[in-house]
Amino acid sequence: MSMTSLFITAAGVGLAIAAPVGPMGMLCIRRTLTGGPRAGLAIGLGIASGDAFYGLIAALGLVGISQFMLAYDRPLHLLAGLFLLYLGVRTLLQKPPADAANGEPNGNGNGHGNGKLAQVGRAGALRAYASSLLLTLTNPQTVIMFAALFTTLAPRGAFSSTIALTTVGGVFCGSIAWWCFLVTVVSLARHAIGSKLRLAIDRFVGIMLAAFGVVEIRRAL
């Protein structure tokens, strides 16, 4: 298999891994609705970066780090569960984003609607990236998944750092391509739906995040 074919195949795998809508997908959708595409892309980039980090560990055969992460599997699941539960509860308790069309505050704290939905700034995007990266890193089982992936994709007897980096790069690009697509779709819908429907979606996402958090906590016990 050539490097180009390997990259394309790995990108397809990264796309397939990212596409199922789980807690991270819910978080990305929610942040895009409330903070705009910059926030959503920051979430997606954090997820893809976390996957790439674990993929690199598996690809380069960093056994010590892998064993350390897997040894603390339960505490990491507990941390992820508590964080998801916190995000879900905070989402449910948080006041809905103001709808400028109704003359409500526009999210800038000035109390005057300007016809635009709220957008997060650079600091908010960095916080979103950091939170999604840390949340992704609390799932060390990803190392096992990527180890199996590299065993399947790498040419027999020809595994090297170049092959490892090509595979990791492909997975990262496939993953980020999905998040870009999801953020684009949600951003278009964000401007088309009303405040009541946005509120209903926000509440649904909050419930789902809390439910995913409870599941993660139970896995840790």
**pLDDT tens by residue, 4-16:** 887 888 888 888 8
Which amino acid is present at 214?
V
Checking if the pLDDT of 177 tops 90, the result is: yes
Checking if the pLDDT of 40 tops 80, the result is: yes
Mean pLDDT (whole number) for 113-135: 75
Mean pLDDT (whole number) for 149-171: 71
The residue among 167 and 108 whose pLDDT is bigger is 167
Average pLDDT, the chain: 77
Two structure tokens written together for 154 = 């790498």
Task: Report which of 51, 58, 55 is spatially closest to residue 19, judged by C-alpha positions.
Answer: 51
Which amino acid is present at 125?
A
Q: Are 174 and 13 in contact (CB under 8 A)?
A: yes
Q: Say how far apart CA 94 and CA 97 lie, in whole Å.
A: 9
pLDDT score, position 104 = 42
Q: Going by C-beta distance under 8 Å and a sequence separation of 6 or more, which residues neighbour residue 110?
A: none
127-156 per-position pLDDT tens digit: 889 988 888 888 766 767 777 776 666 555
Two structure tokens written together for 205 = 């996402």
Mean pLDDT (whole number) for 192-204: 79
Predicted structure pTM score: 0.74
Q: Are 189 and 54 in contact (CB under 8 A)?
A: no
Model confidence at 97, pLDDT cuts 50, 70, 90, reads low
* Choice among 148-152, 155-159, 208-212 with the minimum mean pLDDT: 155-159
Percent of the chain at pLDDT exceeding 90: 9
pLDDT score, position 113 = 42
pLDDT score, position 110 = 43
